[in-house]
Amino acid sequence: METGFERYSCQIALPGFSETSQRLLQQAKVLVVGAGGLGCPAAQYLAAAGIGTLGIADHDNVSVSNLHRQVLFGPADVGRNKAEVAAERLRLQNPAITIVPYNQKIVHENVLQLVAEYDIVVDCTDNFATRYLLNDAAVLAGKPVVYGAIYQFEGQVAIWNVRNSNGYYTPNYRDLFPKVNESQIPNCTEGGVIPTLAGIIGCMQANEVIKYISQNGELLTGKVLIFDAQSMRSRIIKIGNITQTYITALPISIEQPVITVADLKQALAANSVELIDVRNADERELFDIGGRHIPLNELENNIDQLNTDIVKVFYCASGIRSAEAVRLFKLKYPEVKAFSLEGGLKAWRG
């Protein structure tokens, strides 16, 4: 066996796999977006398998509530950037590969350039705005995307935008979800997630990447695998062989400015802002910091009732739903100042 391949001997010994397959992995460049519950196990197994260049993009910092499912991190990492900590751990795991951390948010201004530098993208994000942005950028660049999502006990996996032998591309995320009402779907912070599910789905994503690069096995193209961790049952939903969407540009960017807890407290003392709580009624009964209560799923129908003469600050549990509230508000009133409380009530309560 070729020198340097000893570490990969067990996978090279697989039927249909070979040293040529391993070289394909070593030559590949894979971008993992999101170093959270999905990104940690996906990146770990991609690094272990010998992916030549592994990019990890995440602008968020490690928090205590991440530790039950984000297995690259420990208590000493709280407050540090996830991409940078993940890169440190993975370099120790496999010093022979290149790990590139990106401590930056994926936005309109950088997504196309970033995606263009890699062969395949692994979508481990936790919000729909970034997911659609990644999907559209990958379609425009002609790059495949391995999709993963988890919520409570259920996970989903698919691979989008793979070029068929006939030159057409397989379905992408917009073929399955042309548009999602984010206000109806809580994230892991608000809805909960069993930690083992993150590991299962993240490993499935890594598996799709390895199959795609090594050209070995049947890909989840044109279909979505749905896994239930409670029953340990899975099913596959077929979408089709060819995409029916036509993406010619990135989605319209709506600025979603944030305000820190410290700045908000100063603004409240000066009586210069109006607070709007976009959580549900059960959450508000437990704790609130005042202001009007308009759940996010009711905001669009009540926007006209808001006073546009004063700065708005929307808040929720973690800052995700309030960011969506700012987007909806700015679509209607682009000139009115509106902010999302950064980190939500979790940050407010320290």
233 and 271 belong to one structural domain: no
- Cβ 13 vs Cβ 60: under 8 Å: no
CB 57 within 8 A of CB 146: no
For residues 25 and 121, membership in a common domain is answered with yes
The 8-class DSSP code of residue 250 comes to P
Same domain, residue pair 178 and 291: no
Q: What is the pLDDT of residue 256?
A: 75
Helix or strand run (H / E) with residue 314: strand 311-315
User: Which of 185, 208, 238 finishes a domain?
Assistant: 238
> Could you tell me which of 234, 168, 241, 247 has the C-alpha nearest to residue 204?
234
Strands 154-160, 223-228: parallel, antiparallel or unpaired by DSSP? antiparallel
Residue 338: per-residue pLDDT: 93
Tens digit of each residue's pLDDT, the chain (350 residues): 345 789 999 999 999 899 999 999 999 999 999 999 999 999 999 999 999 999 999 998 998 888 999 999 999 999 999 999 999 999 999 999 999 999 998 988 999 999 999 999 999 998 888 899 999 999 999 999 999 999 899 999 999 999 998 889 999 999 999 876 554 555 555 567 899 999 999 999 999 999 999 999 999 999 999 999 999 999 999 999 999 999 999 887 666 788 999 999 999 999 999 999 999 888 899 999 999 999 988 998 898 889 899 999 999 988 888 988 998 898 889 889 999 998 899 889 87
Do residues 303 and 207 both lie within one domain? Answer: no
| Shared domain check, 284 and 150 | no
CATH (domain of 313): 3.40.250.10
Global pTM reads 0.82
Establish if 195 belongs to a structural domain: yes
Residue type, 250: L
- For residue 338, give the H/E element and its range: strand 338-341
Q: Per the residue annotation, which of 10, 40, 124, 188 is the catalytic one?
A: 188
How many structural domains compose the chain? 2
Q: Please give the Cα distance from 252 to 108 (Å, whole number).
A: 9
Distance (Å, whole) CA 95 – CA 55: 15
248, part of any domain: no
203 is catalytic: no
10, 124, 203, 316: the catalytic one is 316
Residue reference for tokens 């690094």: 47
Task: Determine the longest span between alpha carbons in the chain, in angstroms.
Answer: 73
CB atoms near residue 307 (< 10 Å): 9
| Domain assignment of residue 21, yes or no | yes
CA–CA separation, 296 and 289 (whole Å):
17
Give me the domain span that covers residue 275. 258-348
- Tell me, yes or no, whether 275 and 340 share the same domain: yes
The answer to whether position 160 is within a domain reads yes
> Within a domain: residue 90?
yes
Which pairing describes strands 154-160 and 145-151: parallel, antiparallel, or unpaired?
Answer: antiparallel
* Domain assignment of residue 340, yes or no: yes
251 part of a folded domain: no
**1 in any annotated domain:** no
**If we measure between CA atoms, which residue out of 40, 68, 69, 70 comes closest to residue 54?**
40
Q: Are residues 50 and 187 in the same domain?
A: yes
Residue after which a domain boundary falls, among 193, 208, 238: 238
Cα–Cα distance measured from residue 224 to residue 341, given in angstroms and rounded to the nearest whole number: 35
109 and 45 within one domain: yes
Q: Do residues 217 and 92 share a domain?
A: yes
Question: CA-to-CA distance for 328 and 318, rounded, in angstroms?
Answer: 18
Residues 274 and 167 in one domain: no
10 carries an active-site annotation = no
Residues 183 and 317 both lie in one domain: no
Q: What Rg, from alpha-carbon coordinates, does the chain have? A: 21
What torsion do the CA atoms of 189, 258, 185, 308 make, to the nearest 10 degrees? 140
Task: Say if residues 302 and 294 touch (Cβ distance below 8 Å).
Answer: yes
Q: CATH number of the domain that 191 lies in?
A: 3.40.50.720
Query: Per-residue b/e over 320-345, b at no fewer than 16 CB within 10 Å?
Result: bbbbbbbbbbbeeeeeeebbbbbbbb
Residue with tokens 């603004």: 267
In this structure, the answer to whether residues 225 and 280 fall within a common structural domain is no
Cα-based distances in Å from 61 to 35, 65, 189, 196, 264 = 10, 11, 15, 21, 21
Query: Of 184, 208, 238, at which residue does a domain stop?
Result: 238
Q: 14 is written with which tokens?
A: 């697989």
